[in-house]
Chains A and B, each alone.
Chain A
């Protein structure tokens, strides 16, 4: 298996990075391109940009941001939020993104995953799943879907998703640790890589998540001190996590 990955997630709204607690009370924490460069220099393995307000406001995607990020950083990055069509996704990849992440649009029209995988390859198609109490929520956590995270993970992969970005709404923003039970259930259910998301408060939490999942998403834990990512990597090595040498 490839090495475990640390993935800072930049939730963006109106062109700024924000991070909410329980998806509410969004607060601004920085400029996306500047932060991307800092994380890249500090050894991030990959980046994720999620436009957290795109679905709610029915806005388009973030092509210009993607272009600027691609000019500044030479590590892979995923973009999500408001991706509804193959054309949306293709524009993002042509601008320099490596993967697109789809959430609500795939729940509404699961065939979108197949269309995306046929056009872009499944390695470029991430399905983002937000779960509370094991049940999938859509539209930035505001609506129920009647699906469990495990069922939807399996279906999404069968339809073409090549990776799962699994966020526990229960754990998100709490800094009390990842939802390891939920993560393990999804990892066991699918043959593709899983990115654990929500709840990181310290290095030990991240190390625990990386024993279960193939990658860990990082938000509040790194945004308050982006240069501290290098130190986090060192602490994780101390816990025996094999991370790449990013020098």
Chain B
């Protein structure tokens, strides 16, 4: 399985690469649109702010590569937010539009929302670290009322970090690879 992890200067690329390598995947880190187009699975990781991340996706041309891609794509945390139509972070940012909906600031509880939280259906706990959350009709699971996973076409976006969710996260990524 060839996995292309988008490297656009947005954070935790190394952790994502290590997590896939532990599962035996052949992982390339790339900012080249053609590598993203040709991968069996493309991964859009991301921590940080939506505005600067989107700008870097546009600078590298990865935005177009991700929009045109027909194969499976996984967006993690900010990678999910960037795939939506828009985010209200940084005064409003237009997203890739791969998934209907928008990212909004979390209104309840302590923000940033940091820690392990259960995802339903299933009830397993994964690691979350976010101040914004997706509002989308494409949600397939939630965590304490917030969108945990959304799917639209070949794109899967998750709010939690499977690469940091220990054995539970590794099992999630394994299922992701076997679907791809």
Contacts and interface: CB of A to CB of B under 8 A. Distances in A.
Interface residues of B, number: 39
A121 B47 contact: yes
Nearest to A94: B14
B19 A94 contact: no
Contact of B112 (A4, A5, A122): A122
Contacts of A205: none
Contacts of B127: 75-76
A121 B164 contact: no
B166 A70 contact: no
Contact of B125 (A71, A99, A163, A245): A245
Nearest to B173: A74
A93 B12 CA distance: 6
Contacts of B128: 2
A81 interface: no
Contacts of A247: 167
Q: How large is the interface on A (under 10, 10 to 19, 20 to 34, 35 or more residues)?
A: 35 or more
Interface stretch (B36-44, B94-102, B113-121): B113-121
Given A4-B115, A76-B129, A214-B114, 10 more contacts: A74-B22, A75-B166, A94-B11, A98-B12, A98-B15, A98-B164, A123-B129, A124-B47, A246-B167, A247-B167
22 contacts: A1-B110, A1-B144, A2-B115, A3-B118, A3-B125, A71-B18, A74-B15, A74-B18, A74-B163, A74-B166, A75-B127, A76-B129, A93-B11, A94-B14, A121-B48, A162-B131, A163-B114, A191-B111, A193-B114, A215-B115, A244-B116, A246-B166
Interface of A: 1-5, 40, 45, 67, 70-71, 74-76, 93-96, 98-99, 118-124, 162-163, 191-193, 214-215, 244-247
